[in-house]
Structure 1
Amino acid sequence: MSKYLVNKFLYTVDRDPDLVERYREDPRGTVEWWEDQEAGRILNCHNGEASTWLRFEDAERAALAGHDYPALFELGAHPFLTLTLFIAMFERDYDEPLGFQKEYARRLSHFSLPYPDYAT
Structure 2
Amino acid sequence: MSKYLLNKFLYTVDRDPSLVERYRADPRELVTWWEESLSNALLNCPTPEASTWQRLTDEERSALIEHDHCKLFELGAHPFLTLTLFIAMFERDNTEPLEYQKAFGARMAHFSLPYPDIAT
- State the TM-score, normalizing by the size of structure 1: 0.92
Distance, in Å, in 2 between the alignment partners of 1:11 and 1:113 is: 25
Q: Which amino acid aligns with 1:50?
A: T
Partner of 1:21: 21
Deviations 1:29-81 (A, max 9, x none): 00000000111224531xxx531x2x100100000011010100111100100
Deviations 1:59-107 (A, max 9, x none): 0000001101010011110010000000000001111100110110011
Partner of 2:66: 66
Gaps of 5+ in 1: none
Distance, in Å, in 2 between the alignment partners of 1:40 and 1:75 is: 19
Partner of 1:113: 113
Q: Which amino acid aligns with 1:21?
A: E
Please tell me the root mean square deviation across aligned C-alpha atoms, in Å. Answer: 1.1
Partner of 1:100: 100
Number of equivalent positions: 115
- Over 6 Å off, 4+ runs: none
Q: Which amino acid aligns with 2:69?
A: Y
Distance, in Å, in 1 between the alignment partners of 2:75 and 2:41 is: 24
Gaps of 5+ in 2: 44-48
Q: CA deviation at 1:19?
A: 0.4
Partner of 1:50: 52
Distance, in Å, in 2 between the alignment partners of 1:79 and 1:61 is: 17
